[in-house]
Amino acid sequence: REGTVLVTGGAGYIGSHAVLALLDAGWKVVVVDNLVTGFDWAVDPRATLVVANIADDDKVRAAIRDHGVIAIMHFAGSVVVPESVSDPLKYYRNNTAASRSLIESAVAEGVKHFIFSSTAATYGIPEVVPVREDSPKQPINPYGMSKLMTEIMLKDVAAAHPINYAALRYFNVAGADPQGRSGQSTAGATHLIKIAAEAATGKRGHVSVFGTDFDTPDGTGVRDYIHVSDLAAAHVDALDLLIAKPTENHTMNAGYGRGFSVLQVLDAVDRVTNLTIERKLEGRRAGDPDALVADNSAILAALPWRPKHDDLEGIVKDALAWERKLAERQG
Ligand code: UFG
């Protein structure tokens, strides 16, 4: 594989796994990350880390030139949905405006391919589940809107300039590198499997179940949990596709096409740990849909990618193993 891939947010959760997948596939990697939520130790030492904001055009353009970057994988951004409601301008700055700068740097320096971390939050509350890519995009929070706006920019830019793109709309990303090289490390987690892993390692006393009256088989929310290493592998395959088909652009759901309820997830955690983690049944969180599951036929048709880590207990095991490592590291 010729050339270097620039990974923004490569010190973060999903980005650090993409760095591993790219390096393992033989790519050279330069990471641009401001380390606001990421960690320098999360970047594999085989990659070069440039500590910079992705909207710092001079530093980003220098990194592209110095490393011979042919493609950008763009993970950097803010990701906390409730925070996006209370501080929308942070999301339009860190996600939409910063992406605009990054895309401009890419075009100016002749980068040929762009892969973007998008989200199922672009759909809002879907009318039909499993949700297809051509379903209405009606985000119900600024986070989803900030990502949708970036998708729209990419579409227009790819029509005007010699660059193609893939936007991957992630469902519920969970788990950790099965070899234990990375995982979800940011404090103040809001994601169910991370929270359950924290409860299993004694970092918190219980898990709240937000809502028991959803229109689902057991009344709790259903989500499509995808292992972070499968997600990372999908990015590497998407890059190969963009290189092979330089006139094509792809927007694809990244999920397994099957859902688990909150209670099913917590049952899996209990089975894996041999514990009975305390559950507190609570009211719904604002804006949670009943069920959010991917129709993944587009990604299965476009890429050779196939799920390898789609066993729920396996996802939980990997998340737990990383949580234990983190606990040791933090003493
Ligand atoms: N949940 C609990 N207790 C918790 C945490 C979560 O019951 O402590 C429930 C939620 O109500 C939901 C499910 O577990 O039913 C999953 O919640 P997460 O917070 O793990 O994930 P979300 O589905 O809310 O969010 C994900 C991504 C977002 C994205 C969103 C799209 O993390 O980035 O999907 O709707 F915006």
Distances (CA, A) of 247 to 21, 36, 74: 25, 35, 20
| Banded model confidence at residue 331, pLDDT cuts 50, 70, 90 | low
As a CATH number, domain 4-174+224-254 is 3.40.50.720
The CA distance from 232 to 219, in Å, is 31
Using one digit for the tens of pLDDT, what is the confidence trace for 95-138? 999 999 999 999 999 999 999 999 999 999 999 999 999 999 99
Confidence check: pLDDT of 330 > 90: no
Output the CA 318–ligand 1 centroid distance in Å.
19
Output the CA 250–ligand 1 centroid distance in Å.
26
pLDDT-above-70 percentage for the chain: 100
Given a contact cutoff of 8 angstroms between Cβ atoms, the answer to whether 203 and 151 are in contact is no
Other residues' Cβ atoms within 10 Å of the Cβ of residue 181? 17
The preferred substitution site among 80, 192, 260 for testing ligand 1, maximizing ligand atoms within 8 Å of CB, is: 192
| DSSP code for 28 | E
Using one digit for the tens of pLDDT, what is the confidence trace for 214-259? 999 999 999 999 999 999 999 999 999 999 999 999 999 999 999 9
Whether domain 192-223+257-329 has CATH 3.40.50.11540: the reply is no
Q: Return the bridge partners of 72, or none.
A: 6, 114
DSSP, residue by residue, 4-25: EEEEETTTSHHHHHHHHHHHHT
| Banded model confidence at residue 329, pLDDT cuts 50, 70, 90 | confident
The CA distance from 237 to 301, in Å, is 12
pLDDT of residue 1: 81
Report which protein residue has its CA nearest ligand 1's atom 29: 121
The CA distance from 206 to 277, in Å, is 6
Report which protein residue has its CA nearest ligand 1's atom 15: 221
The preferred substitution site among 78, 267, 288 for testing ligand 1, maximizing ligand atoms within 8 Å of CB, is: 288
Report which protein residue has its CA nearest ligand 1's atom 1: 192
User: Which residues are known to be catalytic?
Assistant: 143
The CA distance from 70 to 178, in Å, is 29
Amino acid 86 reads S
Provide ipTM, 2 decimals: 0.96
Given a contact cutoff of 8 angstroms between Cβ atoms, the answer to whether 129 and 255 are in contact is no
Query: For ligand 1, what atom is nearest to the CA of residue 174?
Result: 20
Whole-number mean pLDDT of the chain? 97
The CA distance from 211 to 204, in Å, is 20
Given a contact cutoff of 8 angstroms between Cβ atoms, the answer to whether 203 and 277 are in contact is no
Per domain, the residue ranges of the chain are 4-174+224-254, 192-223+257-329
Report which protein residue has its CA nearest ligand 1's atom 5: 192
Q: Which residues line ligand 1 (CB under 6 A)?
A: 79, 81, 119-121, 143, 172, 190-192, 195, 207-211, 221, 223, 262, 285, 288, 292
The preferred substitution site among 79, 191, 279, 292 for testing ligand 1, maximizing ligand atoms within 8 Å of CB, is: 191
Compute the half-sphere exposure of residue 324: CA atoms within 13 Å on the CB side of its CA.
8
Output the CA 283–ligand 1 centroid distance in Å.
14
